[in-house]
A and B are shown apart, each in its own frame.
Chain A
Amino acid sequence: MQQDFTYAVARVRFRETKLLNGADLDSLLSAKDTDAVMRILRDKGWGDNTDTAPDQIISIEEKKLWDFVDETVTDRSVLDFLRVPDDFHNIKAAVKCITRDIEPDGLFLYNTVCDPDKLYDCIKKREYGDLPDFIADTAREAMTVLLQTSDGQLCDIIVDKACMEYVYKLGKLSDSDIVRLYCELFVASADIKTAVRCAKTGKKPEFIRRAMAQCDSLDVDRLASAAYEGYDAIISYLSTTRYRTAVEALNTSMSAFEKWCDDYMTAAMKPQKWEPFGIGAIVAYIIARQNEIKAVRMILSAKISGLSEQTIKERLRDMYV
């Protein structure tokens, strides 16, 4: 039976009024120091009413977001496409800690499908059968490759590619247009970033092709060839795709391209603000909240390191509200 999201969407509608808007970000930006930013955030309901540190307030808000999702969405597997990238991140962290014989303190992400501590134990004991199917083979392969080659970069591309392929599969299985779009953009943007990095570091064609995952909006073989030819070939190819508007951002910097991806997704999600049924409104809210948290993290880090207001402003994403 198809899951009913009426209750969750009604709660999301109210919570959307509490999201930070452009004016709120401006007031955070113009705050004179970190303490002033924290005061504004606490007034907006951030944190847990205690005198928390900047990094803690971010963790608290991330936890609040996923607690809310768990409370309102009965079958959380419909949102796995948002959580699984953190599972794959945890695989990378676990295999590196195990092979280097260090404790993974503070390295794991916890809003995941598989419990990170269980993941760590299973990989450490080589009991991959106890892991969920979607990560078992990847964990085994990553561990084997790292032990045999000690090549951390190879291990990373194996895990990242497996992550992209799984997210893409979840997108294909979804009935929601917004989920499919998110998964498509997730893979396409990762492929573009890989292509640019490979072009700039002069990687071999086999490596480039191995690092990229298939998606509908890009001809991955052509992108891989372009990456081998050089940066200009990538730009030339992208100009013929739906990502032609990203070219300018790519020419600026990788972080400008990441901002372009987030803004593209935010713009695509905006119609969900008026959609009373379906998972779209919930997905849009989660992504909007994650972007908001990302923006606040950026502002806090910039205030701590004394960056100028203009520098931060250039990197801030468009807000959902």
Chain B
Amino acid sequence: MSEFFQNSGLFFALLGAAVATLMAGIGSAIGVGKAGVAASGVLAEEPSLFGKVLIFQLLPATQGIYGLLVGILILSNVGLIGGVKEVTALQGLLYFAASLPIAFCGLYSAIYQSKCAVAGIGTVAKKPDQFGKAILMPAMVETYAILALLISMLAIIGIAGM
């Protein structure tokens, strides 16, 4: 058991990459889907608003990209992309821990951002000239996904230098 744990560094690092990509990706899929439903509703009534509602729909997509970025960074650091590197169990666990901020924050921020985006789509449907203000509201939610991405990335870079 102890020997297995000592050799499981790569497994934990891979788990971290998977969790970051998976959870942030699920959040984005839910978010883009929900905003897409509202966008389709508006387009059924007013096709000229396509450009505006598309931007709202794409806002929750970024969390999935952040998760992917963290996943790639972990895979690259542990040698699963490029050359093989030795990863200790502690490093593996640290990579896993580093993936958690973007995994959880990505999941929840995408879902809540989509709710805000749906409300914004409703605003644009009624007042297309208020697009600039309406887009700011869901964009605020993005801040927290970016903060989580920052912490995840700083942690991964820090672990690589250990």
Chain A contact residues, CB within 8 Å of chain B? 4, 6-11, 13-17, 72, 274, 276-277
A10, B41: Cβ atoms closer than 8 Å: yes
B118, A277: Cβ atoms closer than 8 Å: yes
- B115 to chain A minimum Cβ distance, whole angstroms, is 7
B126, A6: Cβ atoms closer than 8 Å: no
- Scan residues 55-85 of chain B and give those whose CB is less than 8 A from a CB of chain A: none
- B42 to chain A minimum Cβ distance, whole angstroms, is 5
Name, among A8, A13, A15, A17, the residue most crowded by chain B CB atoms within 10 Å (CB to CB). Answer: A13
- B111 to chain A minimum Cβ distance, whole angstroms, is 13
- A27 to chain B minimum Cβ distance, whole angstroms, is 21
Mask of B125-138 contacts with A, CB within 8 angstroms, 1/0: 11000000000000
**Given contacts A16-B126, A276-B122, are A7 and B38 in contact (CB under 8 A)?**
yes
Cβ-defined partner of B125 (8 Å) among A6, A8, A14 = A14
A10, B37: Cβ atoms closer than 8 Å: yes
**Given contacts A276-B115, A276-B118, are A9 and B41 in contact (CB under 8 A)?**
yes
A11, B115: Cβ atoms closer than 8 Å: no
- The contact sample of 25 A-B pairs, CB cut-off 8 A, is A6-B41, A6-B118, A7-B40, A8-B41, A9-B38, A10-B39, A10-B42, A10-B121, A10-B122, A10-B125, A11-B41, A13-B121, A13-B122, A13-B126, A14-B45, A14-B46, A14-B126, A16-B126, A17-B125, A17-B126, A72-B41, A274-B119, A276-B119, A277-B115, A277-B118
A-B contact count (CB 8 A): 54
- Cβ–Cβ < 8 Å partners of A16 in chain B: 126
- B123 to chain A minimum Cβ distance, whole angstroms, is 8
CA distance A7 to B45 in the complex (A): 11
- Cβ–Cβ < 8 Å partners of A7 in chain B: 37-38, 40-41
B1 at the interface (CB under 8 A from A): no
Name, among A10, A13, A277, the residue most crowded by chain B CB atoms within 10 Å (CB to CB). Answer: A10
- A65 to chain B minimum Cβ distance, whole angstroms, is 14
B162 at the interface (CB under 8 A from A): no
- What residue of chain B has the Cβ atom nearest to residue A4's Cβ? B37
**Given contacts A276-B118, A277-B118, are A14 and B42 in contact (CB under 8 A)?**
yes
- B92 to chain A minimum Cβ distance, whole angstroms, is 40
- Cβ–Cβ < 8 Å partners of A13 in chain B: 41-42, 121-123, 125-126
Mask of B31-47 contacts with A, CB within 8 angstroms, 1/0: 00010011111101110
- B9 to chain A minimum Cβ distance, whole angstroms, is 43
CA distance A7 to B119 in the complex (A): 12
Starting from the known contacts A9-B41, A10-B125, A11-B42, 4 additional A-B residue pairs (CB-CB under 8 Å) come to A7-B41, A10-B121, A11-B45, A13-B121
- B131 to chain A minimum Cβ distance, whole angstroms, is 14
- Cβ–Cβ < 8 Å partners of A17 in chain B: 125-126
- B125 to chain A minimum Cβ distance, whole angstroms, is 4
CA distance A274 to B134 in the complex (A): 13
- Cβ–Cβ < 8 Å partners of A72 in chain B: 41
- A1 to chain B minimum Cβ distance, whole angstroms, is 15
- Cβ–Cβ < 8 Å partners of B44 in chain A: 11
**Given contacts A15-B45, A276-B115, are A10 and B38 in contact (CB under 8 A)?**
yes
- B71 to chain A minimum Cβ distance, whole angstroms, is 30
- Cβ–Cβ < 8 Å partners of A9 in chain B: 38, 41, 122
A6, B42: Cβ atoms closer than 8 Å: no
- Cβ–Cβ < 8 Å partners of A15 in chain B: 45
A6, B38: Cβ atoms closer than 8 Å: yes
CA distance A276 to B125 in the complex (A): 12
- B122 to chain A minimum Cβ distance, whole angstroms, is 4
CA distance A11 to B45 in the complex (A): 6
- What residue of chain A has the Cβ atom nearest to residue B119's Cβ? A276
B34, A6: Cβ atoms closer than 8 Å: yes
- Cβ–Cβ < 8 Å partners of B126 in chain A: 13-14, 16-17
- Cβ–Cβ < 8 Å partners of B122 in chain A: 9-10, 13, 276
- B102 to chain A minimum Cβ distance, whole angstroms, is 27
CA distance A10 to B41 in the complex (A): 5
A6, B37: Cβ atoms closer than 8 Å: yes
CA distance A108 to B41 in the complex (A): 33
- What residue of chain B has the Cβ atom nearest to residue A8's Cβ? B41
- Cβ–Cβ < 8 Å partners of B40 in chain A: 7, 10
- A275 to chain B minimum Cβ distance, whole angstroms, is 9
